[in-house]
Amino acid sequence: MTHGEMQELYELYVLGALEVEQAVQIDAHVADGCEFCLDQIRQAAQVTAALPAMIEPVEPPAAVRERILASIATPKRAPRLQTPLMGLFAVAAAIALVFAFWATGQLHETRRRLEDALGQRDQLRSAIEILSRSQTRAVQFGANDNVAHGRVFVNQNGGFVFVGSDLPQITPDKTFELWLLPAKGAPQPAGLFRANPSGDFVHVANTAVDVKQIAAIAVSVEPKGGSSAPTTKPIVVVPLG
């Protein structure tokens, strides 16, 4: 299919309204890194973004907002009781409180697991999407078992999957941060992640990686919450060239 033939298909492509055969052709063309098509698709997305205007915004119930914010909040500790009388009340209420805390704990645990599962599912989908692209290439790093080792699967348009083993243990107030290292210029933050207790890790980043400009991907240990620029020497550097 030529660009001329695709000209009137970009919005339909973004909407998902194309027939499968046409969509697959555009998928493959975009996966090959056609900047013209990517730009056209970005513009098409701006046009189709107008379509929700066909409906009126509707105020959701306040309870939904409360549920969402409660589910991401850290549970607050109850204030300490000060007087003997209140202490007696506390004894009387202890059984009920134990049950309530147990139930609340179960609820938070269930929500946490649900969020984790949803996060893992989304990460898996993103990884499959990147790995299935025809232009994705694999770069191996760390040749022996004593240092962090693994592979980076990188796609210019889809992002990258960073997977491996044997990262060092870090304290809870630290995190691993990925960096895209351009041939010229400052490192660009590309996401935070933690390894499991065995040092295994998988991180999926949907950030586009311009392999002509980005010379390497690196990992450093940063304060929890991440940094805008590396504050420690990278423990892994994976050249992409």
The minimum distance between CB 44 and another protein, in angstroms, equals 8
Residue 185's CB is within 10 A of a number of other CB atoms, namely 8
Interface residues with another protein (CB under 8 A) are: 8, 11-12, 15-20, 42, 45-61, 64-65, 67-69, 71-73, 115, 118-119, 122, 126, 191-192, 205-208, 225-226
Tokens of 178: 């990925």
Tell me whether residue 62 or residue 85 sits nearer to another protein (CB atom): 62
The minimum distance between CB 194 and another protein, in angstroms, equals 13
β partners of residue 178 = 219
Say if residues 209 and 155 touch (Cβ distance below 8 Å): yes
Tell me whether residue 147 or residue 202 sits nearer to another protein (CB atom): 202
Residue the block writes with tokens 């990517």: 38
Tell me whether residue 136 or residue 157 sits nearer to another protein (CB atom): 157
Residue the block writes with tokens 């989908």: 125
Tell me whether residue 135 or residue 227 sits nearer to another protein (CB atom): 227
The minimum distance between CB 186 and another protein, in angstroms, equals 17
The minimum distance between CB 53 and another protein, in angstroms, equals 4
Tell me whether residue 54 or residue 91 sits nearer to another protein (CB atom): 54
The minimum distance between CB 48 and another protein, in angstroms, equals 7
Say if residues 37 and 29 touch (Cβ distance below 8 Å): yes
Say if residues 23 and 54 touch (Cβ distance below 8 Å): no
User: Residue 22 — left, alpha, or beta (φ > 0 → left; ψ -120 to 50 → alpha)?
Assistant: alpha
β partners of residue 216 = 181, 239
Tokens of 56: 């009126």
